[in-house]
């Protein structure tokens, strides 16, 4: 437990959290929508600081980050909690664990579980496993901001990179605070429909769009993922709107289009047809995006990286593994035509 950043005191003993766009007003002994930031005596505390619910050494491609030191490993950590309640969440056992039961803000506190691990121990573990980066992932890193921030500053001093896998629901002040220590981020852009965000996630679209733009402007390497859910965000118009928005921010932003597997509260929906994933990729390329990838469909050959200028194969992948990487020999240049390939190599 540690005093939270980004909050102000309001109305007697209540506080207002300023970490994410929900900007929850939290009364005494209650928590915000994320379930892990609690008001105790007029002071807002992070209840998950130093409490790791999941950790692993992953290939960076699993994030997915395909243009950030491909072939490297990331020491990946998470706490419980999330500021969304996505009906399709694949890690709902962790993300929703802290929220307890009931309706509305200030609900009964759920469970905070995990190992007690200091920031220093996380960085030491990353060094021990020779990881190029530490990834704050599995659940939403915004909700354990203070813990991630302290780790990131230590990692930065040790020459270890920091990456987020995020829903993008974070305030500008928090982004600007973390950005000097953040090297790359993959942001879920679930739809270009605010209704989708309200009904499926419990949030709004515009803050996510603003987050993508701001991180890009601050020099953080950005990649975007869209999970294609049958009947919810799988029309050609959906794909076109998503691709055009990403292109408006930067044609060099890699777009990962992932296949949906029935899970959590959407088990009644089918697996995304592979033909839909192919369709979305073609629409993205036609819109002018340089790099469009298919996720959760290994072996289809559309998770490889090609030079956007001459079309030559640069990185061959299968699942989360780089099978062949010509960029290791040429740095950021295509070895065939010499054009600069976007990313961090």
Tens digits of residue pLDDT in 80-125 = 999 999 999 999 999 998 776 433 333 334 689 999 999 999 999 9
Same-domain check for residues 158 and 35: no
Same-domain check for residues 23 and 63: no
Same-domain check for residues 90 and 172: yes
Same-domain check for residues 42 and 169: no
Q: What is the pTM of this model?
A: 0.95
pLDDT at 232 over 60: yes
In a domain, 297, yes or no: yes
- Predicted pLDDT of residue 127: 98
CATH number at residue 137: 3.20.20.70
In a domain, 73, yes or no: yes
Q: Tokens at residue 332, please?
A: 């950021």
Same-domain check for residues 118 and 227: yes
Per DSSP bridges, beta strands 313-318 and 321-325 are: antiparallel
Please tell me the total count of domains within the chain.
2
Same-domain check for residues 126 and 274: yes
In a domain, 21, yes or no: yes
pLDDT at 25 over 90: yes
Q: How far apart are CA 197 and CA 126, in angstroms?
A: 35
Sign, CA torsion 107/113/117/122:
negative
- Please name the residues in contact with 98: beta carbons below 8 A apart, sequence gap of 6 or more: 31, 34, 35, 36, 47, 48, 80, 81, 109, 110, 111, 112
200 CB-side CA count, 13 A: 20
- Predicted pLDDT of residue 100: 60
Q: How far apart are CA 195 and CA 201, in angstroms?
A: 10
pLDDT digits (tens, 9 = 90+) for 162-197: 999 999 999 999 999 999 999 999 999 999 999 999
In a domain, 344, yes or no: no
Region 254-277: mean pLDDT is: 97
Question: Which residue, 170, 162, 154, is CA-closest to 135?
Answer: 162
pLDDT at 78 over 60: yes
Domain with 205, as residue range(s), is 51-330
CA distance between the termini of the chain? 37
In a domain, 341, yes or no: no
Q: How far apart are CA 331 and CA 341, in angstroms?
A: 9
Same-domain check for residues 191 and 244: yes
pLDDT at 245 over 50: yes
In a domain, 340, yes or no: no
In a domain, 343, yes or no: no
In a domain, 19, yes or no: yes
- Predicted pLDDT of residue 301: 72
């Amino acid at each position: 437990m540690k005093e939270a950043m980004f909050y102000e005191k309001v109305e007697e003993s209540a506080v207002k959290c300023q970490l994410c766009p929900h900007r929850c007003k939290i009364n005494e002994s209650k928590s915000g929508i994320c379930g892990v930031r609690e008001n105790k005596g007029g002071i807002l505390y992070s209840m998950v600081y130093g409490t790791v619910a999941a950790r692993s050494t992953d290939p960076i491609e699993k994030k997915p980050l395909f243009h950030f030191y491909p072939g490297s490993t990331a020491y990946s950590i998470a706490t419980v909690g999330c500021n969304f309640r996505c009906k399709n969440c694949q890690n709902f056992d962790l993300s929703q664990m802290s929220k307890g039961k009931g309706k509305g803000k200030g609900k009964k506190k759920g469970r905070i579980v995990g190992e007690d691990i200091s920031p220093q121990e996380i960085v030491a573990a990353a060094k021990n496993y020779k990881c190029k980066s530490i990834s704050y992932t599995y659940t939403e890193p915004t909700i354990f901001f203070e813990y991630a921030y302290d780790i990131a500053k230590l990692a930065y001093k040790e020459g270890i990179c920091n990456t987020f896998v995020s829903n993008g629901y974070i305030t500008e002040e928090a982004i600007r605070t973390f950005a000097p220590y953040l090297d790359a981020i993959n942001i879920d852009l679930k739809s270009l429909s605010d209704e989708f965000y309200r009904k499926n996630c419990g949030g709004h679209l515009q803050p996510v769009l603003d987050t993508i733009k701001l991180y890009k402007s601050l020099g953080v390497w950005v990649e975007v993922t869209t999970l294609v859910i049958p009947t919810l965000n799988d029309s050609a118009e959906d794909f076109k709107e998503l691709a055009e928005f990403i292109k408006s921010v930067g044609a060099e932003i890699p777009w990962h289009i992932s296949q949906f597997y029935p899970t959590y509260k959407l088990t009644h929906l089918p697996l995304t047809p592979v033909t839909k994933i192919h369709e979305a990729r073609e629409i993205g390329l036609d819109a002018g995006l340089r790099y469009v990838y298919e996720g959760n469909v290994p072996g289809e050959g559309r998770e490889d990286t090609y030079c956007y200028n001459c079309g030559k194969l640069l990185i061959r992948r299968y699942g989360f593994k780089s099978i062949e990487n010509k960029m290791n020999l040429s740095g950021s240049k295509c070895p065939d035509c010499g054009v600069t390939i976007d990313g961090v190599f």
